[in-house]
Amino acid sequence: MPSCPIRGDECDTTHERRIHASRSHDTTLAGEPTECGNCGTNIRRPQHQLEEENAVFCSDECETEWHTKARRE
């Protein structure tokens, strides 16, 4: 039986565990953990995005800032 990684609450399914984390702890368990390519914030993204993209970002603002810095270099 899957359990909540935050408090250890038992859940019937992995899907229920994801819903619990979202509603009870305002977090997501979907996707793979990684870091924002600009600011280093811990984020989660689907595996296919990690394989397809050179860098992933936590927000549109971080992506824009990263591209702006890259153009200056």
- Cβ neighbors of 11 (< 8 A, separation 6 or more) are 1, 2, 3, 4, 17, 20
Indicate if 22 and 49 belong to the same structural domain: no
pTM: 0.60
The three-state secondary structure class of 63 is helix
State the pLDDT confidence band at 27, using cuts at 50, 70 and 90: confident
> How many domains are there within the chain?
2
Residue 4, pLDDT score = 75
Residue 34, pLDDT score = 92
Q: Which domain holds residue 10?
A: 1-29
The closest of 21, 19, 2 to 11, measured between CA atoms, is 2
Indicate if 39 and 16 belong to the same structural domain: no
Indicate if 47 and 20 belong to the same structural domain: no
The three-state secondary structure class of 31 is coil
Residue 52, pLDDT score = 86
